[in-house]
């Protein structure tokens, strides 16, 4: 528990209290055969909070329903 608190505080200090925004981040190469749900369930894409300054301008703002 102490390690978690220390690492979480270190990350916050590294971000200099930047505004965090929600994002889906690709953490490993996604095979072309997977759809979005499969990629998320398979651990290829993770939901995270990242500093707003690192959010790409091309990021999708909302999920698109088909």
Kindly tell me if the per-residue pLDDT of 66 is higher than 50. no
pLDDT in tens, 14-58: 666 678 888 888 889 999 999 989 998 999 998 888 888 777 777
- How far apart CA 41 and CA 60 sit, in angstroms, is 19
Q: Are 55 and 23 in contact (CB under 8 A)?
A: yes
- pLDDT, position 18: 74
């Amino acid at each position: 528990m102490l390690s978690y608190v220390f690492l979480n505080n270190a990350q916050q200090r590294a971000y200099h209290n930047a505004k965090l925004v929600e994002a889906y981040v690709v953490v490993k190469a996604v095979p072309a055969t997977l759809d979005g749900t499969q990629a998320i369930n398979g651990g290829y894409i993770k939901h995270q909070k990242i500093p707003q300054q690192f959010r790409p301008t091309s990021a999708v703002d909302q999920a698109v329903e088909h």
